[in-house]
Structure 1
């Protein structure tokens, strides 16, 4: 199939989102020399809103306008951070994920102006984050720290930290790397210390289902192990039917020998209850592994725990 001469890429308009598109453009140019790409930036309701995400209907607040531009034919490809794409409901009708790019760093990062690690932060330190996942895990492991609400894109949060609105920040390592701010990281937290969100570190390319030429053109950017990991993680989230106020964390890992594992946790918002499951796929396909780990968590009471959280 002939490669389109021009591919229009729609994305959120934040500095990080635009940096992510540059990665896609670079990889597309390497795959198809001579191809032209054009960026179509949109501002989403999630970017405009500074309150609780649940008031906007959750994480879909960061994808709705991007999806609309794609479906309206204003663009050919949408670039999404997988962690922002809801898994408790299907993709908008008429769209598919054509590729998951090779996964970046999964970990969360502590940003502290004095270079302290998480364990070195003194009692009462104000840690800027609005993530229910991070708040629950900090409450469980470091109850002497105080979380303060912190929304906005990563650049804006770093500005707020520098203005003294918090003493430290929690951000994604991959996000800080994408905006050239890796030097701000005081400590990259282990996956044991801070279990990541579903889809962490993964960029996905979404196309219209009937646009075979574009799907074919971008599919070559896909990474097979990342596809297996994300498929497993998103099935877990789908079966759990978690909402944006549910502290759910987890990650799959494809080993070099082909084995796949999935670790997942569900928390109460105060971090006092932690449900934990970890399984290896064996002969299971990725989606079945996600289902199996979700069922293990449901057996421990995850349904009641998630349903008891207002949203």
Structure 2
């Protein structure tokens, strides 16, 4: 941190704490608390306060498209940020839509180091996904997961299950539950410290063809990454976030979200995208677009320079569009 910034921040927050906006779920609070702890390390003496906001998407049991898509996860928090009720907002980047502009006058000032991007299958008794009999019901609210599950195991059924992680797990474990398994993000379970309480199977992120018998789950764009948003005009806070930002994760997110933006994906688009650094220091980006039931897909994989992430995202998106991604995405709007 520059020598002058601590004094600037102390002056900026002399009259009150730095307010951290987040959703009300247990996971959202943990993520906000992690950001608060990082701020405490980088800017000792700055008091922070968690300001949870109940968002409409967390209360809606149906299809997100009916309440404005993934943007419904953040619109109330965006209003609080723009109006100055909070100073920063903490988001899971996989929940930030690619087809909705950020609130005017705001930007992501920091991406924290990426956590695990794997999805896991949670069952009551430890039965692996490959061992679930045809007709078993799998709970997931993600069209990306539903498409990939159906692609590999067409005999399984899927059903939307909404709510916070603990609510979903309760639905699986309650007596008489009709769910055989849930598919959830490993990172969220680890952040809550509860992964080891449940029988779980980690699904590989590498794409496998269906004839291998391996069920893989290519991650969502932004998986495993926490983004911290602030107002452009709030110079001291944006400079502080610059201190928290992880440069490599920023490249991953830039590549993935450039691809997503060019594909014009919406909340019901089964789009997967995963950027990672290779052993020789280059940037790899894998992208996939499915139809709703996974019976059709297009995929692309390319490599590029770590410092030219946007160009890599554009190249993968262009290849997917050339293969017919627009038709698959348009069909999911119907």
Q: Which residue of 2 aligns with 1:168?
A: 181
Query: RMSD of the TM alignment (CA)?
Result: 1.3
Query: Alignment partner of 1:8: what SS?
Result: strand
Counterpart of 1:261 (choices 284, 299, 307) is 284
8 A contact 2:33–2:50 mirrored in 1:
no
The CA deviation string for residues 132-170 of structure 1, in whole angstroms up to 9 with x for no partner, is 101100110011111122001111101111121412100
For each residue in 1:83-121, what CA deviation from the matched residue of structure 2 results, as whole angstroms up to 9, or x when unmatched?
Answer: 011112321110010000000000101101111222122
Q: Secondary structure at the match of 1:199?
A: coil
Cα contact 1:108–1:194 (8 A) shared by 2: yes
How far 1:284 sits from its partner (Å)? 6.8
Partner of 1:114: 125
1:191 aligns with 2:205: yes
| 1:195-210 equivalent positions in 2, closer than 5 A | 195-210=218-233
CA distance in 1, matches of 2:268, 2:55: 20
Q: Which residue of 2 aligns with 1:72?
A: 83
1:59 and 2:64 matched:
no
What is the CA deviation profile of residues 57-103 of structure 1, one whole-angstrom value per residue up to 9, with x for unaligned ones?
A: 21001011111111110000000000011112321110010000000
For residue 27 of structure 1, report the CA deviation from its aligned partner: 1.2
Q: 2:157 matched to 1:146? A: yes
CA distance in 2, matches of 1:263, 1:35: 40
SS of the residue corresponding to residue 127 of structure 2 reads: coil
Pairwise CA distance, 1:274: 1.3
Q: 1:307 Cα shift? A: 1.1
Q: CA deviation at 1:256?
A: 5.7
Aligned match of 1:179 in 192, 208, 228?
A: 192
Is the 1:262–1:289 Cα contact (8 Å) retained in structure 2?
A: yes
**Where does the alignment leave 5 or more consecutive residues of structure 1 unmatched?**
none
Work out the CA distance in 2 between the residues paired with 1:230 and 1:282.
Answer: 14
**Is contact 2:77-2:89 (8 Å) kept?**
yes
Q: Please tell me whether Structure 1 or Structure 2 has the larger radius of gyration of its CA atoms.
A: 2
Contact 2:283 2:306 (8 Å CA) reproduced: no
Alignment partner of 1:245 is 2:259: no
* Counterpart position of 1:96: 107
TM-score normalised by the chain length of structure 2: 0.90
Shift of 1:283: 7.5
Gaps of 5+ in 2: 207-215
SS in 1 for 2:265: coil
| Aligned counterpart for 2:32 among listed residues 16, 21, 24 | 21
Equivalent residue pairs, number: 311
Tell me the secondary structure at the aligned position of residue 78 of structure 1.
strand
